[in-house]
Structure 1
């Protein structure tokens, strides 16, 4: 099967050019001017930007929580992804006590494979860092699973890794070409704050933010960076949301250390003021949105290149599920939606001149592909998978639950006005979204084995 996309402006992370794109059997074969392919399906991309599909490196699909699960299963979540120009997702698998890494992934892969509409891979959240699990790092990497997450929080839930675990994991990651990511917040301070607020009857969503404000996250960011620097091991910080942590990343990078920072669209757009709204519970996620100074610092970090990736932490719960905590913020399921909004939000920022289109491609496609070893993704170049997005910078769009493709019954992005929007998404050369309509199918997405880092 051949596809020829003609007349568009191809945008990669480092350059843009007027070019045609020839696709054969799901792979980009040629990029150049005035290409011809008799018999190929021809798509007129005049006036459109031709972009590599986004990679959402942080999702929680079909995520188990207190006897229920997040609103989007692997089908609905990857459908929403496709409709937002995301052609690959990384989902998190949580290791149970006593499980090996590959043992933890196998049932989740079996659950995902028949439902996925776009390509996918996994990060493994480690909760039981035994000598056997540390020894398995190399075999897991060889199986295409070279990235592991450690929670520095959720102590009472049995998920937390202590500093000794972090050091052991970082040391082993350096030996095996794997990558350690951390959810950085201080659990003891959070738990003490929560106990105090509950005793005082302060249970509105505003106290979710006050229980884990800026210093609670910053301290853990700085601590994790300290251990990574001491071992000269790479570190990936998920969903960075505070100014002081952003500065710590900047300082470490400038000193020559490999510290990757990820942030999310919700931190770039909303501040902690949302927790004072009547629907504040819908915005409850961890870390929470912070103050304006932190948002400004994140934008500056993004513009200057210290934020390496933007991902979503997509983990939506329905209104009824969020209402479990309408009278007690500690009972609100943590998580917000975003996989369908990631690329349109960043491309809108580029359309308005806040960042460049090349920067949007860099943090949403090229960088996650490079950092996590997706060697066939992240660029419009010969030999890469034909994960292609056609973006119309002159097509205004207003986000509403009525035009999203999640199974969630609301969106925190309701009413967001975008200056341009995605017209089409191709996943490995197949049209999976066009002008508001999902055209893909469950089971089309494939597991992508990721390459370990060179060490």
Structure 2
């Protein structure tokens, strides 16, 4: 079957806004051609975009589905359902190794079981690496790369997950040799632990103090440190969910020296402030809904700084970091409320956002005076750059012949009216709140297409895709999007690294 979305005013790629009226021909789930007056017959199905913008399906490279540490959160079915309703057609979730495990194969096998035939959208996995033994690095990581799992996530904080500097260095050197992409959660664990203990001793344990316990300097120091370790080992990295201006400056400075340092931020750091962690008169614990790490920052200037990073290219990726826990549940956010006593350190971290990610950012993209980024930049951040960085280029993230026909058709501006007000009742995730309740966005996906098939029809039945439609994506090695390898570290002699590397 062949689909030809017609009359679209603009199809938007990472590099250009195509001429008005370009049609997209689709055959066998792939984009076959772009052009005008494409051939059609009685078997051709036509979707009229009615003058709307068409963008590639979103690639959300940072979601937490079916996580053991979030038993009340989304599984692959509810999470992927929410994804396609918000225009995301590919997600990369996390398979987490326990520190007690001496192999990563069992956790990968388990996550395949959790996702297979249970996802509305295509998916892949990152490995959360917590016990990087030499055997894993030398034997199992090459095997995982052959299986299409080509990225790992490392933590510099959280006791069950964090690695010391020597472990970080060992993984970075293995990544350089094997070619897998390395993601890092950068916060100084000792700073957070010290402040947390002192806050608790002083009786400051309500959700608001989560933000106090993780000051920007904890993110700043860890960001500078992981950049230094990456420079020492000549290894590309991605620093995830950044929230601090000074930390962002460390990244920008490294990028100006052509170091391959990539960065990611998320909607919560563009739209929400720490005041959201305070309770209300009706519910003193309600701020728990917005507990995430790094925490929400205090000043509107912090939000503006992240927007600058979005616009000027410091950030390579805009992800949701969808990490949901049900609020009104004893095993969810209410773990931080026992016998009437609030303890923020027991509140599961994370906020839902896989469905709202694209509409929130799309509202600020375009040529209007109040736009904060171009439409092309929107596509780079939400589709094409994550596809490149995580080994999906040529398959996902672009509107071009040969790519999967993953498309988002928005509403024409003439039909949008005053926009869409985000509310929990309209969303499709498996949790009981959204931190963006009451926010207005300018547009929403009218249709989402996964490999040429309509899976979301907002004007019709809503979710029209099949829960078994999502495929596991065997990824190649990711590409460096920013900077390059092969340079000498600051202050080192030419070839000095060769003596010990």
TM tier, smaller:
over 0.9
Partner of 2:497: none
**Is contact 1:77–1:406 with CA below 8 Å preserved after alignment?**
yes
**Is contact 1:387–1:427 with CA below 8 Å preserved after alignment?**
yes
**Is contact 1:64–1:70 with CA below 8 Å preserved after alignment?**
no
Q: Structure 2: how far apart are the matches of 1:328 and 1:100?
A: 34
Once the two structures are superposed, residues 212-259 of structure 1 have per-residue CA deviations (whole angstroms, 9 ceiling, x without a partner) of 010011111110001111122101111011111100000000001001
Q: Structure 1: how far apart are the matches of 2:96 and 2:73?
A: 18
**Is contact 2:448–2:456 with CA below 8 Å preserved after alignment?**
yes
Q: 2:125 aligned with 1:102, yes or no?
A: no
Q: Structure 1: how far apart are the matches of 2:152 and 2:179?
A: 12
Q: Structure 2: how far apart are the matches of 1:15 and 1:137?
A: 37
Partner of 1:357: 375
Once the two structures are superposed, residues 162-219 of structure 1 have per-residue CA deviations (whole angstroms, 9 ceiling, x without a partner) of 1011111111111111111111111111111111111111011111001001001111
| Structure 2, gaps ≥5 residues long | 281-285, 480-484, 486-501
**Is contact 2:90–2:123 with CA below 8 Å preserved after alignment?**
yes
After superposing the two structures, state which structure 1 stretch, 202-211 or 32-41, moved more: 32-41
Q: 2:404 aligned with 1:385, yes or no?
A: yes
Partner of 1:369: 387
Q: 2:27 aligned with 1:12, yes or no?
A: no
Q: 2:350 aligned with 1:346, yes or no?
A: no
TM-score normalized with structure 2 length:
0.88
**Is contact 2:102–2:133 with CA below 8 Å preserved after alignment?**
no
Q: Structure 2: how far apart are the matches of 1:215 and 1:387?
A: 40
Deviation, 1:37, is 1.9
Correspondence 1:84-163 to 2 at 5 A: 84-96=86-98, 97-135=100-138, 136-155=140-159, 158-163=160-165
Q: Secondary structure at the match of 1:303?
A: helix
Q: Structure 1: how far apart are the matches of 2:225 and 2:78?
A: 37
Correspondence 1:241-390 to 2 at 5 A: 241-278=243-280, 279-291=286-298, 292-320=300-328, 321-326=332-337, 327-351=342-366, 352-375=370-393, 376-390=395-409
Partner of 1:62: 66
| Structure 1, gaps ≥5 residues long | none
Deviation, 1:36, is 2.2
Q: Structure 1: how far apart are the matches of 2:442 and 2:119?
A: 30
Residues 124 and 50 (structure 1), Cα distance of their counterparts in 2 relative to 1, 3 Å cut: same
Partner of 2:176: 174
**Is contact 1:62–1:70 with CA below 8 Å preserved after alignment?**
no
Q: Secondary structure at the match of 1:138?
A: helix
Q: Structure 2: how far apart are the matches of 1:162 and 1:398?
A: 44
Deviation, 1:99, is 4.1
Q: 1:185 aligns with which of 161, 181, 187?
A: 187
Q: Structure 2: how far apart are the matches of 1:273 and 1:398?
A: 21
Partner of 1:399: 422
Correspondence 1:24-39 to 2 at 5 A: 24-38=27-41, 39=43
Over alpha carbons, which structure has the higher Rg?
Answer: 2
**Is contact 1:48–1:391 with CA below 8 Å preserved after alignment?**
yes
Q: Structure 1: how far apart are the matches of 2:150 and 2:258?
A: 23
Q: 1:200 aligns with which of 188, 199, 202?
A: 202
Partner of 1:449: 474
Once the two structures are superposed, residues 407-455 of structure 1 have per-residue CA deviations (whole angstroms, 9 ceiling, x without a partner) of 1111111111011221000011111101161111211100001101479
Deviation, 1:397, is 0.8
Q: Structure 1: how far apart are the matches of 2:39 and 2:436?
A: 42
Q: Structure 2: how far apart are the matches of 1:441 and 1:413?
A: 28
**Is contact 2:66–2:114 with CA below 8 Å preserved after alignment?**
no
Q: Which has the higher strand share?
A: 1
Q: Structure 1: how far apart are the matches of 2:449 and 2:435?
A: 27
After superposing the two structures, state which structure 1 stretch, 342-351 or 246-255, moved more: 342-351
**Is contact 1:61–1:70 with CA below 8 Å preserved after alignment?**
no
**Is contact 2:230–2:236 with CA below 8 Å preserved after alignment?**
yes
**Is contact 1:391–1:420 with CA below 8 Å preserved after alignment?**
yes
Q: Structure 2: how far apart are the matches of 1:360 and 1:312?
A: 14
Deviation, 1:70, is 3.9
Once the two structures are superposed, residues 281-300 of structure 1 have per-residue CA deviations (whole angstroms, 9 ceiling, x without a partner) of 10001111113333222111
After superposing the two structures, state which structure 1 stretch, 293-302 or 73-82, moved more: 293-302
Q: Structure 2: how far apart are the matches of 1:267 and 1:235?
A: 21
**Is contact 1:123–1:145 with CA below 8 Å preserved after alignment?**
yes
Alignment: residue pair count? 451
